[in-house]
Amino acid sequence: GNDSNRRNPFILPEYACQRATCLKHYNHKFTRALEILQNHAELRDNEHDSSRALAFRRASCVLKSLPFPLTSMSQLKKLTNIGDHCKRVIQEILEDGECSEVTKLQDDWFHKMVVFTSIFGIGSATAKKWIEKGWSTIKEAQEGHISSDWRVKWAFHSDLNTPVKLQEAQYIQQIVRKEAETILPGIILQITGGFRRGKEEGHDIDILMTHPEDGKEVGFLARLLHRLQNKGIILCGNLEKSTYSDDMLTLDSKLSAKGQLDHFEKWLGIIKIPQSCSETPARDDSGSLSNIGSCDHKGINSVAHPTSNTASEQPLNYQPFNLHESFEDLESKAKKQKLGTENELSPMELAKLDRNWIARRVDLIVSPYNQYFYALVGWTGNKQFNRDIRTYAQKELGMKLSSHGLYDLNKNCALPARSEKEVFENLKLQYLEPWERNC
């Protein structure tokens, strides 16, 4: 009617970093369909060619920014980033309420791919191979992978596929903060990722850390991990040393090793947290923090970590993999419960075992202070926002943006930032709040 005429044709800035994109918007029925197409393209296409997938995502992202529900194709006339394929999809949804192509895509193959790629560490290439072998369920994949490494993985699979709640993220932040402040007073610690963008659930907990005094952060992460390990809450993880050097500000990010988005020192791992902490809000006193200790008292993780004692003051004793120890705890408890049974327990049985903790994926990242606000933007995301703002910097300003900084390729100089707002200023962009970066 009149309303849609008034909005016809509607204009939006070309780049997502030039407009707000929020979790709640007016066009979910279109964006859901476009993101299924994106997801399918990601799974089907070669991992090194994401162009089809990204075209769907960019179109979806435009619709998320529209300040009204789309009701006619004419409203799309002046919008960029919506190609012919996406237009057909949108038109069909406008006319029929759904798009037949999207319905057809959600076949057996797609569902199997979604299930397999939901396993931590399994990408589309492996998932495809499994399907070629004729597997279609987690159970079949489990039966095909029975080495001890895999048994450990399977035992935590259902935990890691249960969404992480905001409360759990805040709980982990409290634990990490308490240990971090003991090692390095004045440390700055920030939850980033989806929770910072306002999501109530996520697949992991991202925590970015820095210290305002230059150089204080060096060696800090290993000491932090050592303390967390002594608390008995680390299941497994991988500490990656910083690989940063100043010339990386100018280098093309695509040249970096496969899958690596930045060069910070970081730990990607799995931590156990009390199951109760997603029910009762965590309190900021030691009583609540010792919750984790109560896991041990109940005998679930009673194996002492051999490095625990005063060694926490020494720099490096962090042992990257003690997952097997925790796993053996689980198994021995299971055997006690099933007294008399000599049969091996299946990973499913182990996962369902009565225990008072749940395994959670945690990313801990350490940045030097002079890169911190760029790191904050990068680790807040989302991923699509990062792609967009980096492309914008390159194409519109001739600047190279990364989580380490911003470099003017014409003037050959770096542009430092002392706040997130300054990052946006340096990029000649209006500031967007974290929750406006849900592209």
List of residues contacting Mn ion (CB under 5 A): 193-194, 202, 204, 206, 363
Residue 254, number of CB atoms within 10 A of its CB: 5
Torsion 119-125-126-127 (CA) sign: positive
Closest to 157 measured CA to CA, from 246, 52, 102, 235: 235
Which of Mn ion, ligand GTP, none binds 232 (CB below 5-8 Å, type-dependent)?
Answer: none
Q: Which one, 42 or 329, has the nearer CB to ligand GTP?
A: 42
Kindly list the catalytic residues: 204, 206, 363
Which of Mn ion, ligand GTP, none binds 199 (CB below 5-8 Å, type-dependent)?
Answer: ligand GTP
Q: Which one, 91 or 118, has the nearer CB to ligand GTP?
A: 118
Which of Mn ion, ligand GTP, none binds 368 (CB below 5-8 Å, type-dependent)?
Answer: none
Nearest distance from residue 162's CB to ligand GTP, in Å? 13
Length of the chain: 439
Which of ligand GTP, Mn ion, none binds 382 (CB below 5-8 Å, type-dependent)?
Answer: ligand GTP
Nearest distance from residue 377's CB to ligand GTP, in Å? 9
Name the residues that contact ligand GTP, by CB under 6 A: 193-194, 199, 202-204, 206, 261-262, 378-379, 381-383, 386, 403
Q: Exposed, middle or buried by CB within 10 Å (0-12, 13-18, 19+), for 257?
A: exposed
Closest to 392 measured CA to CA, from 3, 9, 19: 19
Nearest distance from residue 353's CB to ligand GTP, in Å? 26
Torsion 118-119-122-124 (CA) sign: negative
CA distance 211 to 185: 9
Q: Are 81 and 62 in contact (CB under 8 A)?
A: yes
Nearest distance from residue 437's CB to ligand GTP, in Å? 9
CA distance 222 to 226: 6
Q: Phi/psi at 48 (nearest 5 deg)?
A: -95, -5
Amino acid of residue 232: G
Which of ligand GTP, Mn ion, none binds 383 (CB below 5-8 Å, type-dependent)?
Answer: ligand GTP
Q: Which one, 69 or 198, has the nearer CB to ligand GTP?
A: 198
Nearest distance from residue 20's CB to ligand GTP, in Å? 17
Closest residue by beta carbon to ligand GTP: 381
Q: Exposed, middle or buried by CB within 10 Å (0-12, 13-18, 19+), for 250?
A: middle
Q: Which one, 177 or 203, has the nearer CB to ligand GTP?
A: 203
Nearest distance from residue 156's CB to Mn ion, in Å? 16
Angle at 352 between CA 239 and CA 170, to 5 degrees: 50
Q: Which one, 19 or 199, has the nearer CB to Mn ion?
A: 199
Q: Which one, 12 or 268, has the nearer CB to ligand GTP?
A: 268
